[in-house]
Copies of this chain bind each other. A is one copy, B any other.
Amino acid sequence: MAPIHVHPRILVQLKKTDGTAGDASPAGKGQGMIAEILSTGEEIRCGHVVDSNAAHIAGKLDRFGVQVTRHTSVGDGLEEIAGAIKEMGKRADMAVVTGGLGPTADDRTAEAAAAAAGVPCREDAEALAAVERFFTSRKRPMAPSNRKQASLPRGASPLTNPVGTAPGFRLKIGRCLFFFLPGVPREMKRMLDDGVLPAVSAIPGPNRNTASTRTIVTFGLTESDTGEQLAGFADRFPDLTLGLQVRFPEILVKIYGRSNHSEKLEKRMSEAGNWIGRRLGCRVVCPDGGTMFQAVGRLLGRRGETLALAESCTGGLMAHGLTQVPGSSDYFLFSGVVYANAAKTAVLGVPETVLAGQGAVHEATALAMADGARRVAGADWALSTTGIAGPGGGSREKPVGTVCIGLAGPEKTMVFRYHFPFEDREMNKRVFAFTALDKLRRHLLDNPVA
């Protein structure tokens, strides 16, 4: 990583907060300040719990223009924690540490921080008063073990915890200002908002960078094809970063920007978004991070039109996705999840002769299903899916991954057949559902209301 310059006022502010002098040699990439996160706890270390605290903290700091460059997780061991803190004290300007502030014997973060700072722990009067207040206000007796929570490294300033017993604290170690917070997500989030972010946002300076992210949701190209369509981005927007992420079967195109001039940054982000929009055309489902379900819902809502579904192989996934969106009852009327052939006939009027002659997975069946759903529900549009999601049920003619899709509208009914190369049931259900919804989305875009 290339060394960079941090505006002196930030360092001054960082020094002021705990009154000690810091080493004035931060490193980064032109950001205002660089930060790290440390999560402690056996449950994270051994994989029983996913570390969602780190993502929450990184996201919040990023929006304040503070770039988190590294997350680390270690277990409950004193030496592991102290070792990680020492390393971070050499690399970062600020750090947030979570976990290990509870009352039990395996909570050793304060001790580890003291070891890393080379200072002893001592009972902090302010912290003890806060713990006692917590129990008094809840009319509960304070266990002797809770007294341990008021023992802080010398030089630390306590941070109030309004929703739990563990007071946090802040302490400069090496050149880095550390904020120590509990690991319980609810307490951590509250103290991050109340104690950490105000301290960070109070830091002024013209070099203070704003961070901005834009997520463009696309469907219809593979990740590598999307990347190739966007070749040339780096030359055209050297000040921005492009990232691709798979949210199967959607591909998210992300633009990351950072600047000390937020208006200019937003202008650049918009230019980049438009450039990507021109490159990907109708593959752009949502320019603002939404889902295919939201995109289809918005289009229908704007047109004042309604939708019905007939789902065989997608098994209710389309209906479930559409009804996750608040307000979907304005345009979504009905889905007939017709797994059994008898239900295809009884509910949607698919002729038995078609099912017997052509089979359930066939264009003729998809067509009759879409027509039936549209008619039964009195909808403007209807989509149908019938196919083989697997893992069983495939044949040479109709292998796993085959799907027939029907799209019925006011003027005509169209049918399509696809084969996808997936063996996995869930992947097939998803790719079938998104392909069907995308058919409707693009048809609506191609046929605007007069």
A residues bordering B, Cβ < 8 Å? 1-2, 29, 41-52, 54-62, 67-77, 79-80, 83-84, 102-106, 137-138, 143-146, 165, 184, 186, 211, 213, 215, 223-225, 227-228, 231, 234, 241-246, 248, 254, 256, 306, 308-309, 311, 315-320, 322-324, 326-329, 332-340, 342-343, 346-347, 376-378, 390-393, 421, 424-427, 429
Contact = CB atoms under 8 A, between A and B. Distances in A.
Given A50-B51, A73-B71, A223 B45 contact: no
Given A45-B71, A347-B377, 18 more contacts: A46-B58, A47-B59, A51-B55, A102-B223, A102-B224, A137-B421, A186-B424, A186-B427, A311-B319, A315-B320, A315-B324, A316-B337, A319-B319, A324-B425, A326-B390, A328-B339, A334-B339, A342-B378
B71 A224 contact: no
Instruction: Decide if the interface of chain A is mainly helix, strand, loop or mixed.
Output: mixed
Task: Give the most central of A29, A48, A143, A227: most B CB within 10 Å.
Answer: A48
Contacts of A318: 316
A165 B70 contact: no
B377 A227 contact: no
A336 B347 contact: yes
Contacts of A421: 137-138
A57 to B, nearest CB: 7
Contact of A336 (B105, B327, B334): B334
A69 B62 contact: no
Contacts of A225: 143
Task: Give the most central of A43, A51, A244, A320: most B CB within 10 Å.
Answer: A320
Contacts of A137: 421
A245 B48 contact: yes
Contacts of A50: 50-52, 54-55
A384 to B, nearest CB: 14
A241 B320 CA distance: 37
A264 B306 CA distance: 61
B335 A323 contact: no
A1 B245 CA distance: 37
Given A54-B51, A324-B426, A343-B377, A1 B224 contact: no
A242 B106 contact: yes
Contacts of A146: 224
A311 B322 CA distance: 14
A44 B51 contact: no
A315 B43 CA distance: 31
Contacts of A242: 105-106
Nearest to A327: B392
A43 B104 contact: no
Contacts of A231: 105
B69 A45 contact: yes
A83 B245 CA distance: 24
A334 B327 contact: no
Contact of A105 (B57, B69, B234): B234
A224 to B, nearest CB: 4
